[in-house]
């Protein structure tokens, strides 16, 4: 169905009419000039926003729209958890070109809603408009936290332990894998054309993903770490600093160090890696540690805790102590397995490199 046949308000109704707000604080969702929220007394509000552009942040050739909706939500939910908060409301703006149908947007929304339902976040508004080329997605998420619970990037202290959830580099390897299979497919198409055959005459392309499912999942369907925030809370641990790993561990660690005025030492043999990440890096001739440090899109949590929390934080499943904070004049160091020290560099993904 063509989007223009529904019009803006018809489309919004179709995508959002059966959304029922779950949070008591959500007074009014979609349907007026503004959404209305009644913040719980004494709590701090957290606001984050992200913009995702087709061709820059995602490739629809290998990204199903449902997964894209899910991931678009997760990217924002992750920022709320990174402040030690809980997501509550979300606004979703889409600009779409002619090649998208109503059904495409329904797929996108189904993924988005799945993510929001899982994280108990209400979709309260947005904007749906047209674009001359491609798909643009802009999401704003509002969360909340008790005033004393909010964790900034700037609170790390000398001697604090540096901790990381999950494992790193897998999303980046997943991206490389998808790009490789895309190239294979395009070569098959080009060869068919060179032989004068129609691309339609080719057997269906079956990309080789066997044994790499984890990498694909990490790239296409990341999960914001609500479980880690809850586990820290249950253990009575308040991180001194925290952020989520979207641009790569190195880049994020440097943000925490510079904003906290500390240095750091992180250890190569402590960096969490998945087996599939290591195998894929080997196969593609990538340095797996470079992938883990600079790959990005992990959406894991990077945080610091006082040294006294060592035993309690180590006991949380999926959390690893990867180093500690030092006086800033000692620098921001990565210590190799052989003991060699290297200064960390922010070589994470630069969204403006192409602009």
Shortest distance, position 43 Cβ to a second copy, whole Å:
8
Give the one residue of 20, 132, 194, 340 binding a second copy; rule: CB under 8 A.
132
Instruction: Tell me: does residue 39 bind a second copy (CB under 8 A).
Output: yes
The answer to whether residues 122 and 29 touch, using CB atoms and an 8 Å cutoff, is yes
Instruction: Tell me: does residue 293 bind a second copy (CB under 8 A).
Output: no
- Is residue 87 within a helix (H) or strand (E), and if so which, with residue range? strand 86-96
Instruction: Tell me: does residue 240 bind a second copy (CB under 8 A).
Output: no
Instruction: Tell me: does residue 354 bind a second copy (CB under 8 A).
Output: yes
Shortest distance, position 240 Cβ to a second copy, whole Å:
14
**Which residues 256-275 are close enough to bind a second copy by CB under 8 A?**
259
Q: In 119-198, where does DSSP find H-type helix? A: 170-194
Instruction: Tell me: does residue 245 bind a second copy (CB under 8 A).
Output: no
Angle at 234 between CA 297 and CA 83, to 5 degrees: 40
The window from 42-50, 64-72, 197-205, 327-335 that contacts a second copy (CB under 8 A) reads 42-50
Rounded CA-CA distance 139/91 in Å is 6
Give the one residue of 51, 158, 235, 316 binding a second copy; rule: CB under 8 A.
51
- The CA–CA distances, whole Å, from 160 to 144, 163, 311, 313, 324 equal 26, 9, 13, 12, 6
Give the one residue of 13, 19, 50, 310 binding a second copy; rule: CB under 8 A.
50
Instruction: Tell me: does residue 31 bind a second copy (CB under 8 A).
Output: yes
- Burial of residue 134 (CB within 10 Å: 0-12, 13-18, 19+) is middle
Give the one residue of 21, 57, 176, 324 binding a second copy; rule: CB under 8 A.
57
Between residues 92 and 280, which has the closer beta carbon with respect to a second copy?
92
Torsion of CA 296, 303, 121, 33, to 10 degrees: -80
Instruction: Tell me: does residue 342 bind a second copy (CB under 8 A).
Output: no
The answer to whether residues 250 and 293 touch, using CB atoms and an 8 Å cutoff, is yes
Q: For residue 26, what are the contacts with CB-CB under 8 A and spacing of at least 6?
A: 35, 36, 37, 88, 89, 122, 124
Shortest distance, position 25 Cβ to a second copy, whole Å:
9
- Is residue 141 within a helix (H) or strand (E), and if so which, with residue range? strand 136-146
Rounded CA-CA distance 79/301 in Å is 9
Between residues 241 and 289, which has the closer beta carbon with respect to a second copy?
241
Instruction: Tell me: does residue 82 bind a second copy (CB under 8 A).
Output: yes
Shortest distance, position 214 Cβ to a second copy, whole Å:
26
Between residues 19 and 273, which has the closer beta carbon with respect to a second copy?
19
Give the one residue of 93, 110, 157, 290 binding a second copy; rule: CB under 8 A.
93
Instruction: Tell me: does residue 59 bind a second copy (CB under 8 A).
Output: no
- The CA–CA distances, whole Å, from 226 to 100, 124, 140, 248, 253 equal 33, 21, 18, 19, 20
Instruction: Tell me: does residue 226 bind a second copy (CB under 8 A).
Output: no
């Amino acid at each position: 169905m063509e989007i223009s046949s529904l019009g803006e308000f018809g489309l919004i109704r179709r995508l959002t009419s059966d959304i029922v707000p779950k949070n008591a604080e959500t007074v009014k969702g979609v349907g007026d000039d503004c959404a209305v929220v009644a913040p719980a007394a004494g709590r701090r509000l957290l606001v984050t926003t992200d913009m995702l552009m087709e061709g820059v942040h995602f490739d629809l050739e290998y990204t199903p729209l449902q997964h894209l909706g899910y991931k678009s939500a997760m990217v924002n939910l992750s920022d709320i958890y990174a402040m030690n908060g809980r997501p509550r409301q979300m606004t979703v703006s889409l600009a779409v070109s002619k090649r998208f149908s109503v059904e495409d947007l329904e797929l996108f929304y189904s993924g988005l809603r799945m993510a929001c339902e899982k994280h108990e976040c209400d979709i309260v508004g947005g904007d749906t408009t047209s674009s001359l080329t491609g798909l643009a997605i802009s999401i704003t998420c509002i969360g909340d936290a008790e005033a004393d619970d909010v964790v900034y990037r700037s609170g790390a202290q000398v001697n604090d332990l540096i901790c990381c959830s999950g494992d790193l580099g897998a999303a980046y390897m997943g991206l490389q894998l998808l790009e490789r299979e895309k190239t294979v497919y395009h070569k098959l198409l080009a060869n068919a054309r060179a032989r004068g055959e129609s691309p339609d005459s080719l057997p269906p392309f079956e990309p080789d993903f066997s044994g790499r499912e984890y990498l694909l999942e990490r790239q296409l369907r990341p999960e914001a770490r609500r479980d880690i925030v809850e586990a820290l809370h249950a253990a009575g641990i308040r991180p001194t600093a925290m952020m989520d790993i979207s641009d790569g561990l190195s880049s994020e660690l440097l943000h925490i160090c510079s904003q906290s005025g500390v240095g750091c030492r992180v250890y190569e043999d402590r960096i969490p890696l998945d087996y599939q990440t290591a195998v894929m890096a080997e196969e593609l001739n990538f340095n797996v540690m470079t992938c883990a440090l600079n790959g990005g899109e992990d959406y894991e949590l990077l945080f610091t805790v006082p040294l006294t929390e060592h035993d309690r934080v180590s006991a949380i499943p999926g959390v690893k102590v990867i180093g500690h904070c030092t006086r800033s004049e000692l620098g921001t160091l990565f210590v190799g397995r052989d003991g060699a020290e290297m200064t960390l560099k922010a070589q994470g993904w630069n969204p403006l490199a192409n602009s």
